[in-house]
Amino acid sequence: MKTIKLLGVFAFIALVGFTSCQSEENEQIGINPNAITPTSELAKKIKRTGMNDGAKDDFLDGNSCAELIFPIVATVNGLEITINNEADYELAVEIMDEFNDDDDTVAFNFPITVKLSDYSEIVISSQEEFEDLNQECDNASDNMESAISCAKVDFPISILTYDVNLEQTGTVVVESEQQLYGFVDDLEESDKLFSIKYPITVTLSNGTSVQINDDSEFEDALEECTAYEAEEELAEEKAEEVEGIVSKATFIVESFVTGGVNIAEDFTEYTIEFTNEEKLIARNTVNTALENIEGEYDVDSDTRVLLELDFTNETVFSALNNEWVVTAYTSSLLTLQSKTDSSIILELKKL
């Protein structure tokens, strides 16, 4: 839960290569009153779908404006590691996941090379330059100029170009996100307009594919997925707060309603400790000679905050084994609802 998503973008890229040709015989050459102006809001959204998304290494660099170029040497929580490929990310993840109540630190051995949202590569020579980059990313995110990564266009697609009189001048076949970004970016400096040849297919971040039949459907899909992405980011922030509340803390079962009956009394003799290694330890405070009941927990999120409890042995605590939705929380009380049965409610009170 320590990945921080910071979206961002840089404003310039040279035109990338694409294939341009005259319309095929079966395509009508003529006037299109619905051609998209390259400076319109829809064009800006389309351009953002083509930006380079550097989010996969956010847990290291803290921003999705920049994609780290291998090799990278970094000191993670005091341990120096060399990252030569994406598989080596696991080295950093294992160090960061050792404890869940510490503040992870990453210090790069500068200079490092990064690929920006516009696909250009720059060398970062110092921590100061790196912090300036992060600030630009924050500004881009605040100004809604960051990469849209929740909707991936299935390439290739065809784009029709038009002059200022709305007469078609040609067809461009776009085969990648980089080409899409470069195409729209180049048109911003011209007097041309464009129109996407529908239908196209867009794959959303949840893995589903949708057919898009016109500009309105495309814009709706982008707005819906960015709104969903914002919910995911907010839930992730809340999950970090919940993880901070439970880590190295001890709780009692304040209430446990299942089948319409509160059976919290089954747990009155026990406390539940959440360790900072994601372990659970249930202790009997009345009969201390009884063996502790152990388990594991995990805090996660989608658009909700999720708390999974898993006690390993078949005991009274097996009833708590569930993936719970955290419906409310304070520094001392968690209210949980079963992910699969909303009638099952669990409240944990911190001692």
Q: pLDDT tens, 102-145?
A: 889 999 999 999 999 999 999 999 999 999 999 999 899 888 89
pLDDT > 70: what percent of the chain? 91
Segment 35-45 shows an average pLDDT of 93
Length of the chain: 351
Confidence band for 302, pLDDT divided at 50, 70 and 90: very high
The answer on pLDDT for 257 being more than 90 is yes
Segments of the chain assigned to CATH 2.40.128.270: 247-350
* Cβ atoms of 336 and 325 closer than 8 Å: yes
Measured between alpha carbons, how far is 220 from 134 in angstroms, rounded to an integer? 30
Quote the mean pLDDT of the chain: 90
Segment 247-257 shows an average pLDDT of 98
Confidence band for 205, pLDDT divided at 50, 70 and 90: confident
- Is 112 strand, coil or helix? strand
Q: What is the pLDDT of residue 30?
A: 54
Measured between alpha carbons, how far is 35 from 161 in angstroms, rounded to an integer? 8
Segment 175-191 shows an average pLDDT of 94
Q: What is the pLDDT of residue 169?
A: 93
Q: What is the pLDDT of residue 207?
A: 85
Q: For residues 142 and 270, which has the higher predicted lDDT (pLDDT)?
A: 270
* Cβ atoms of 168 and 74 closer than 8 Å: no
Count the neighbouring beta carbons within 10 Å of the beta carbon of residue 222.
20
Omega prior to 111 cis, within 30 of 0: yes
Q: What is the pLDDT of residue 24?
A: 36
- Burial level of 74, CB count in 10 A (0-12/13-18/19+)? buried
Segment 269-281 shows an average pLDDT of 97
Amino acid at position 201, single letter? T
The fold adopted by the segment(s) 247-350 is Lipocalin (2.40.128)
User: Among the listed ranges 172-176, 179-183, 228-232, 267-271, which one has the minimum average pLDDT value?
Assistant: 228-232
Segment 20-36 shows an average pLDDT of 54
| pLDDT digits 0-9 by tens, 79-108 | 999 999 999 999 999 999 888 878 899 999
End-to-end CA distance of the chain: 24
